Structure 1
Amino acid sequence: MSTADPTPVRGVPSPGTAVDEGEPSPATAGAGGTDPERSGATESARTRSGAWRRAEEALAQGWQRSTPKARWVTEKAAPLSRRAAQVNLVQVAAGVAVTALAALLIAVAAQVEWEVGVLSAPLWLFVGAALLAGAVLGPWRGLLAAVLYLVMGLVGAAWAGDGTAAHTDGPWAGVLLTLPLAVLITGWISARHARLRSPVTSGWYFFGWFFFAALAGLVLIYAGGLWTLFDRTAVGGWAVFATMSARFPFDVAQCILVAVIAVGVHRFVPGLLRR
């Protein structure tokens, strides 16, 4: 090609060709041009990042404001959580089971009674069973067993249509009303002295205290029964003496049996009366 050849070289404008500086070339438009779609996406990303930043700041400020309250709640709830961690669920389940079993035992024993012929005052076996629950299970579980027995009995009487008035308004209703308190006292005395075991302590020591605990509960039941008897019936002193004379040996025998069974149970299961 000679120097005088007017044919322009590809990609190089000829000297006489005007170049439009306002219209970008394809390469320039792809590299640094202002694409509307790309600019909109960039603006949306900036908006989202700003929203996240403001949310993080608000969360941090809220946490800083709530930190003292959270610390106070943690300090108050920490002892409860430590106590909950120390609870043995197996022991709790065993305690519930033996309490329900004791209530069932009292209910079964309530089906056994003997008439003495004086004032129609029967000899009740459930009194000894309730005192045994207190001597074996301690004050609180024994109390729960007695209350559960009374609730089951009253609900059963209402369900059968007999009504609860025959049990709560009768002359011997004081026996039922004072039964939970009597079991509580028997259980407290038993738990107090059952922990005083030592190598030199004889078995008669525990038998004596279990017998005394059952006898204390029996005296309270007698007081409640006589209170409702004198309050709701017109009886003489001689009739009451005859009734109590017929009842007392039987009830003392129940207390002796309660002490013997309690000593045997605590010998084989020594942890029943522990906290």
Structure 2
Amino acid sequence: MTSSPSSRPAGRTARRSPATDVALIAGFAALVAVCAILPAIKVGAGLVPITLQTFAVLLAGAVLGPVRGFLAVALYVVVGAAGLPVFSGGAAGLGVLAGPTAGYLLGFPLAAGLCGLLVSRLPRRKLASVPLVFAAGLVSSALFIHTLGMAGLVLRADLTWAQAFDVDKVFWIGDVLKNVAMALVATAVHRAFPDLLGRRAPATSATPATAPAGSAS
């Protein structure tokens, strides 16, 4: 007996190319770096600059999924810590991770991973839903980027939590706008490349794995 060529287990995931994964991770790490070194705006006490990093970080998660999104942003942080001037304002080195913005940087990979996890759990038809992708990005940003960012200000800038919140709250309006832009871009990408997340296909009716008894083998 031979297996039917068209028979595959229901819900089987299409195999991804490791080379493609590496290219996507590197590409999105570069995108985060570009968004970080674009001219920044400093407001309030000037401890934390406003850049497009949040847009790129959450886009990496929403487009690549939790694992690749996390790895792309983690690669960006590692490269910057290793000495390449990819942090905001062209900063680089381990000293940046000891500064007041350290919490924001450490929160970036976690936010990308959570955003990717939330988006990847959406039904396939909802991947084009801007409000749902926007909500995934905003929740991820609030839980990791803003929370860890304020923790970094408390630990590294000798601020109280109330003072850290006063610094951080300035960035919320921009964060909302960047998440809207992220959701618009991410949903457009998923409409164009619906299998980019490597999601499992929906279960279908079982197909016999073997030819009927008595058929040619």
Q: TM-score range by the shorter chain?
A: 0.7 to 0.9
Count residues with an aligned counterpart. 180
| Distance in 2 (alpha carbons) for counterparts of 1:119 and 1:148 | 26
Q: Point out the structure with max Rg over C-alpha.
A: 1
Aligned equivalent of 2:59: 132
Alignment correspondent of 2:110: 181
Residue number in structure 1 paired with 2:30: 104
Q: Decide whether the 8 Å contact of 2:32 with 2:56 is kept in 1.
A: yes
Identity of aligned residues (%): 35
Structure 2 residue matching 1:146: 3-state secondary structure: helix
Once the 2 structures are TM-superposed, how far is the Cα of residue 251 of structure 1 from its aligned partner? 0.9
Residue in structure 2 matched with residue 147 of structure 1 by the alignment: 74
Following the alignment from structure 1 to structure 2, what is the Cα–Cα distance between the partners of residues 144 and 234? 31
Give the TM-score normalised by the residue count of structure 1.
0.59
Aligned-residue offset at 1:170: 0.6
Q: Aligned Cα RMSD in Å?
A: 2.5
1:136–1:262 contact (8 Å) kept in structure 2: yes
Partner Cα separation in structure 2 for residue 103 and residue 267 of structure 1? 22
Give the AA of the match of 2:54: V
Which structure has greater helix proportion?
1
Q: TM-score, normalised by structure 2?
A: 0.74
Indicate the residue corresponding to 1:230 in structure 2.
154
Q: What is the alpha-carbon distance in structure 1 between the residues aligned to residue 22 and residue 162 of structure 2? A: 45
The alpha carbon displacement at 1:274 in A equals 2.1
Q: Is the 8 A contact 1:136 1:273 kept in 2?
A: yes
- Any conservation in 2 of the 1:118–1:239 contact (CA below 8 Å)? no
Q: Is the 8 A contact 2:61 2:70 kept in 1?
A: yes
Higher relative contact order (CA 8 A, sep 6+): 2
- What amino acid is aligned across from residue 210 of structure 1 in structure 2? V
Q: Identify if the C-alpha distance between structure 1 residues 163 and 183 changes in structure 2 by more than 3 Å, giving closer, same or farther.
A: closer
Cα deviation code 1:48-92 (max 9, x no counterpart)? xxxxxxxxxxxxxxxxxxxxxxxxxxxxxxxxxxxxxx9957x33
2:140 paired residue among 199, 203, 217: 217
Pair 1:108–1:163, CA change in 2 (3 A)? closer
Give the Cα–Cα distance (whole angstroms) in 1 for the partners of residues 190 and 64 of structure 2.
Answer: 10
Aligned partners of 2:45, 2:127: CA distance in 1, in Å?
Answer: 41
Match of 2:174? 250
Report the counterpart of residue 116 of structure 1 in structure 2: 43
Q: Structure 2 unaligned runs (5+)?
A: 1-12, 86-90, 200-217
SS in 2 for 1:156: coil
